[in-house]
């Protein structure tokens, strides 16, 4: 958004306007998909960030530059602001790089993202250099450096990540073990119930035998008394 505003101030930067407009549409689609599937807390947090940085900050920059800055100086001031925000964007992956070093895993830092970040920085650097716009060229030097660092970390830790995944049990083997454990537990439980059932049946038969014996004895006594 800032570079769109900067391009409108500079004029004749059709490429910058076109590319950033396309990027704005794509990023809006990403955010829409995220908002649909994110949790309630994540949606609330993301909404706050969007309001603060994309609405209030942009409105403040546009309002201040139009109210307090002369027309000839506006591109320079906005260019500096764009450069600062670009540096912060390129510095953001430092947290991911720290996580890669700490966990020795590149699970959350795909190579394609680092590669295209580097290519993008190189292209924008030469574009800014060729049109003598150092507000575009300068921040991309940092982006190029961070892109190379990320790719370097990827090649250092990618094999360790593969070894880690190899050592971890697969879902299939885990499910098989769980199934075996459950089967053993069920069999043991059924055996206990069966044993208890047989024991109860045995007791029931013994009781019936005792009752029959008693009935026979009573019948015998009755016969004797009748004689």
Cα 39 to Cα 41: distance, rounded to the nearest angstrom: 5
Q: What is the pTM of this model?
A: 0.64
What is the pLDDT confidence band of residue 218, given thresholds at 50, 70 and 90? very low
Do 152 and 210 share a domain, yes or no?
A: no
| Full domain range(s) for residue 163 | 2-111+146-170
Answer whether residue 162 is part of any domain: yes
d(CA 51, CA 45): 10
Contact 114, 143 (CB under 8 A): no
61 and 98 together in one domain: yes
Q: What is the 3-state secondary structure (H, E, C) of 131-164?
A: CCCHHHHHHHHHHHHHHHHHHHHHHHHHHHHHHH
In terms of domains, do 155 and 55 share one? yes
Here the tokens at position 32 are 């829409």
Task: Write the CA distances from 151 to 91, 100, 121, integer angstroms.
Answer: 15, 12, 14
149: number of Cβ within 10 Å: 15
Domain membership of residue 51 (yes or no) is yes
Same domain? 166 vs 67: yes
Residue 104 in contact with residue 160, Cβ under 8 Å? yes
Residues 64, 157 within the same domain: yes
Q: Are 216 and 150 found together in one domain?
A: no
Please tell me whether residues 160 and 212 are part of one structural domain: no
- How far is residue 77's CA from residue 109's CA, in Å, rounded to a whole number? 34
pLDDT, tens only, 68-106: 999 889 999 999 999 998 988 888 778 888 888 898 888
pLDDT tens digits, 19-72: 989 998 999 999 999 999 999 999 999 999 999 988 899 999 999 998 999 988
User: What percent of the chain clears pLDDT 90, i.e. is strictly above it?
Assistant: 36
């Amino acid at each position: 958004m800032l570079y769109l505003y900067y391009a409108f101030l500079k004029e004749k930067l059709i490429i910058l306007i076109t590319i950033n407009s396309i990027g704005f549409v794509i990023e809006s689609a990403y955010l829409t998909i995220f908002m649909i599937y994110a949790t309630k807390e994540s949606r609330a947090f993301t909404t706050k960030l969007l309001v603060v940085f994309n609405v209030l900050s942009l409105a403040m920059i546009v309002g201040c530059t139009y109210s307090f800055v002369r027309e000839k100086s506006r591109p320079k001031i906005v260019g500096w602001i764009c450069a600062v925000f670009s540096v912060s964007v390129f510095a953001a992956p430092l947290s991911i790089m720290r996580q890669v070093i700490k966990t020795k895993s590149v699970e959350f830092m795909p190579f394609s993202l680092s590669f295209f970040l580097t290519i993008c920085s190189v292209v924008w650097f030469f574009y800014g250099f060729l049109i003598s716009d150092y507000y575009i060229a300068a921040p991309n030097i940092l982006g190029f450096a961070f892109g190379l660092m990320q790719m370097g970390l990827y090649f250092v830790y990618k094999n360790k990540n593969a070894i880690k995944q190899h050592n971890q049990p697969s879902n299939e083997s885990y499910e098989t073990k769980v199934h075996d454990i459950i089967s053993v537990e069920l069999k043991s439980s059924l055996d206990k119930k069966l044993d208890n059932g047989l024991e109860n049946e045995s007791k029931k038969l013994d009781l019936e035998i005792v009752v029959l014996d008693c009935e026979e004895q009573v019948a015998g006594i009755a016969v004797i008394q009748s004689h």
